[in-house]
Amino acid sequence: MSGAGAQPPGPGNAYHGALGDAFARHSGTSPYNAYIDRPAVLELAGDVTGAHVLDVGCGAGYYAAELLARGARVTGVDGSAALLRHAAERVGGRAELRLHDLETPLHFAADASFDGAVCALVHAHVEARDRLLAEIRRVLRPGGWLVLSASHPTADWRHFGGSYFDGSWVDLPLPGSSEAIRYRRLTLETLMTEWLAAGFTVERLTEPRPLPALREIDAALHERLCAEPSFLAVRLRNPAGPG
């Protein structure tokens, strides 16, 4: 495991090849994904019936599948061809899936063409975060929403140690795999500053706890994750007026 001082990932910062396959397997059943982050993101998204939703960094399609089941029309984008193959298997032809480097503008989407967007555990993998947030806001209709989740800054601090304000790239091994995911440590101050600088307003911020169902699978893990923060999840709004 690498901590502070790790270098940024390769082009696109996506989970390519074997890493993409390993992450697709891991994210399907990991308690952190299945019992904390996905439920929190979907709860903040709320009623998506009839909404056109952009899934930014859609990965293996787990969020897209849930959004589709709730009545949304979904466009998913990711920089990993490996993950998009898994997403295509999961959603079939029910969603539009695009291979797209999130470090570049969302040139495929017109202004105000989406009602909402989700960006789950993707933000810290992107270097051009200010441009990505600006692009998401551009493609959202006035009054549209963005639900974004990120690793909790204090969880990273507890795990990697050092200074809380360390903004280095770090590696987090995937359990049961030789692969590791790489992302940048971000403080709460950094996250809030970036969201507000992009012109969004904050409607709600949560520090999600695991679903009670996890207790039936692993009571000790459920108790620990109820006491230690893992993620932040926020619902942002694209103001209806000029910003």
Residue 149 lies in a domain: yes
Q: Indicate whether 243 belongs to any domain.
A: no
Q: H helices of 46-152, where?
A: 62-69, 81-91, 129-139
Q: Give per-residue pLDDT as tens, 1-23.
A: 334 444 444 444 688 888 888 89
Q: Which of 195, 188, 178, 116 is nearest to 151 (CA)?
A: 188
Task: Identify the pLDDT of residue 16.
Answer: 86
Tell me how many domains the chain contains: 1
Domain residues for the domain of 90 are 11-237
Token pair of 155 as six digits: 């969880």
List the CATH number of the domain containing 180. Answer: 3.40.50.150
Which sign, positive or negative, has the C-alpha torsion 217, 220, 223, 229? negative
Among candidates 63, 48, 59, 70, which has minimal Cα distance to 114? 48
pLDDT tens per residue across span 26-74? 888 899 999 999 999 999 999 999 999 999 999 999 999 999 999 999 9
Name the DSSP letter for residue 35.
I
50 closest CA partner among 67, 36, 25: 67
Answer yes or no: is 16 within a domain: yes
